Amino acid sequence: MRMLSLYSIKGGVGKTASAVNLASEAAGSGLRVLLWDLDPQAATTFYLKVKPKIRGGVEKLVKGKAAFNKVIRATNVDGLDVLPASLDSREMDHLLEHQGTSHLRQILARVRDEYDLVILDCPPTLSHMSENMFTSVDALLVPVVPSTLSLRTLEQLETFLDDRHLTCPLWPFLTLADRRRSLHREVIDSFDKRWPLRLSTVIPAASAVERMGLERAPVRHFAPASPAAHAYAGLWREVSQRLQ
């Protein structure tokens, strides 16, 4: 069972859109996928038409007291299940503060035989939860908007991980990109040199992605021929090759 997270210290950069679309691509390729919505804002849960969990479910899970079948929900996407955001998942942080490293991976050991891939959609915070996540996942997928500030945030994350000797690999990729803008083109060109582990697929700024909130589905389900759907399929091909 492989584990990936969509993570950035910055909000609004496409973590959730990427988590949902990559999970859907992975499930479409035949993998059994679990998407864990760790953000209390519950956008992933909303996009996949799943009700947020009642209070207490995730708490019990972290403490090892709840059964997974009580907290995991099936989605309309074949092969994709969701562990919905819990209304009280801010308390996750407090819970994880008192657990050892890679506790998130240990919790999931109980469903190791049921899923090939777990994707974590994370809130944009540096917290006990994110530190636990860094030691749990195989790689961090970091969406980066082609802007100076967004690149700075990526460097800050790299420094944070280095300072704490966290060896979790950073796989950044560009998203919300608009090649008509010269700044975007410049950033896209320089990105390749600075970040050797980057994923080369660039996700364009696309109205299909914005429509996910109305359609409440991954883009491949309502706009399969769109550039955004092709881009996410390409991004998933790259990620899956690295995981092999």
Q: How far apart are CA 41 and CA 91, in angstroms?
A: 13
Q: Is position 14 an interface residue for ligand ADP (rule: CB under 6 A)?
A: yes
Q: Is position 11 an interface residue for ligand ADP (rule: CB under 6 A)?
A: yes
Can you tell me which of 5, 89, 175, 201 binds ligand ADP, judged by CB under 6 A?
175
Q: Which stretch binds ligand ADP (CB under 6 A): 10-18, 79-87, 160-168, 191-199?
A: 10-18
Q: Is position 203 an interface residue for ligand ADP (rule: CB under 6 A)?
A: yes
Of 67 and 183, nearer to ligand ADP (C-beta) is: 183
Q: How far apart are CA 224 and CA 96, in angstroms?
A: 39
Instruction: Give which of ligand ADP, Mg ion, none residue 12 binds (C-beta under 5 to 8 Å, depending on kind).
Output: ligand ADP
Comparing CA positions, the residue from 124, 149, 128 lying closest to residue 140 is 124
Q: Is position 108 an interface residue for ligand ADP (rule: CB under 6 A)?
A: no
Can you tell me which of 43, 58, 137, 151 binds ligand ADP, judged by CB under 6 A?
43
Cite the DSSP H helix spans in the chain.
15-28, 43-47, 57-62, 68-71, 91-97, 103-108, 128-134, 148-163, 182-194, 207-210, 212-215, 219-222, 227-243
Concatenating the DSSP letter of every residue in 36-54 gives: EE--TT-HHHHHTT-PPBP
Size of the site for Mg ion (CB under 5 A): 3
Q: Which two tokens stand for residue 44?
A: 């992933």
DSSP state of 86: B
Can you tell me which of 2, 10, 15, 105 binds Mg ion, judged by CB under 5 A?
15
Q: Is position 169 an interface residue for ligand ADP (rule: CB under 6 A)?
A: no
Residues in CB range of 165: below 8 A, 6 or more apart: none
Q: Is position 17 an interface residue for ligand ADP (rule: CB under 6 A)?
A: yes
Q: Which two tokens stand for residue 135?
A: 């030691």
Which residues are near ligand ADP by CB under 6 A?
11-17, 43, 175-176, 203, 205-206, 209-210, 228
Which residues are near Mg ion by CB under 5 A?
15-16, 43
